[in-house]
């Protein structure tokens, strides 16, 4: 009888523990969802040419890494390289905006899918590119790692 009571106690403690983990995970996901919203809004407000590339780079942690796995420009390590990367948009586009299609949040990870849209600076042509971000956020809402999937060949195709 005593072992049955002990088993019930262990089960109750386990249930409470799992419940608390679910609550913590949910709070994490809620924070991450807000971090993602803040990130996309800030990028849209601060993206060159209308904004400052340093202010976009500040959305990332000091040691952040941004990868472009399916093509150029490769990987940026740290805020200095990110400033340079975002600064390059001033030379290419008159405007640049990210429009959300959908998102998925899990813990401190987020997947954002949408389009990147803007006018090519030299030709004035409107460009629209499908884009996906895989983002990992730290506890302060800064991006620690970003994997960006975009088909850069679509730029040349749309400029024809």
User: What tens digit of pLDDT does each residue of 75-101 get?
Assistant: 999 999 999 999 998 888 999 999 999
Please, what are the domains in the chain?
2-159 (3.10.450.50)
How close are the terminal C-alpha atoms of the chain, in Å? 81
Nearest Cα residue to 74 out of 156, 1, 147: 147
CA distance linking residue 46 with residue 66, whole number of Å: 18
Nearest Cα residue to 136 out of 31, 2, 50, 15: 31
DSSP-derived 3-state class of residue 150: strand
| ∠ CA 29-35-38, rounded to 5° | 145
Among 21-25, 48-52, 62-66, the range of highest mean pLDDT: 62-66
DSSP-derived 3-state class of residue 51: coil
- Residue with the larger pLDDT of the pair 73 and 78: 78
Percent of the chain with pLDDT over 90: 66
DSSP-derived 3-state class of residue 121: coil
Q: What is the pLDDT of residue 16?
A: 42
pTM: 0.79
Which residues on adjacent β-strands are paired with residue 115?
A: 99, 130
């Amino acid at each position: 009888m005593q072992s049955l009571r002990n088993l019930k106690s262990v089960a109750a403690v386990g249930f409470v523990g799992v419940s608390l983990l679910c609550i913590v995970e949910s709070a994490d996901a809620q924070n991450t969802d807000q971090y993602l919203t803040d990130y996309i809004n800030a990028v849209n407000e601060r993206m060159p040419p209308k904004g400052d590339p340093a202010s976009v780079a500040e959305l990332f942690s000091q040691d952040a890494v941004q990868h472009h796995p399916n093509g150029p420009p490769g990987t940026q390590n740290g805020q200095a390289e990110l400033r340079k990367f975002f600064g390059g948009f001033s030379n290419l586009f008159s405007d640049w905006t990210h429009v959300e299609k959908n998102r998925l949040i899990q813990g401190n990870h987020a997947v954002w899918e949408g389009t990147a849209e803007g006018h090519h600076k030299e030709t004035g042509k409107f460009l629209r590119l499908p884009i996906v971000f895989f983002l990992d956020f730290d506890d302060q809402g800064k991006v620690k790692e970003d994997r960006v999937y975009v088909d850069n060949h679509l730029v040349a195709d749309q400029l024809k």
